[in-house]
Amino acid sequence: MMTENQEDLKNLKSVRNSLDALEKRLQKLTAQMERTQIADYVQLLNRPFSLIWRNVLGGLSRGVGIAIGFTLFASTILYVLQLLGALNLPIIGDYIADIVRIVQNQLEGKAY
């Protein structure tokens, strides 16, 4: 027959095992939350002005980046087209010259 102390000791061990398992699960959950950065997300949701401001700055920087990128791309294409037009190739040269002339007229503000 078990004495009362032995029974209490057995119950204490089972509670301790349960607490150890719970602690391990909490540590895993904490690590996962840190990886997903939920705390930062919740903080942003609690401060909507900060969220709006970040989105505005992100949109502006994206827009400026697209504008600069398109300008560089278009100017490179026009430069190559001017070089090809200078070669005076029969069919391609006339087509490229028309495109360059239209672009230059648009830049000068004239209607083609």
User: Per-residue pLDDT tens for 63-108?
Assistant: 999 999 999 999 999 898 788 777 776 777 778 788 889 888 888 8
Between the CA of residue 84 and those of 11, 13, 43, 94, what are the distances in Å? 89, 86, 56, 10
Residues contacting 39, CB < 8 A, separation 6+? 33
Residues contacting 101, CB < 8 A, separation 6+? 112
pLDDT tens sequence across 50-62: 889 999 999 999 9
Residues contacting 99, CB < 8 A, separation 6+? 81
Q: Is residue 1 predicted with pLDDT exceeding 60?
A: no
Between the CA of residue 56 and those of 59, 61, 70, what are the distances in Å? 5, 9, 21
Contact indicator for 97, 86 with CB cutoff of 8 Å: no
Q: Is residue 12 predicted with pLDDT exceeding 70?
A: yes
For the whole model, what pTM was predicted?
0.46
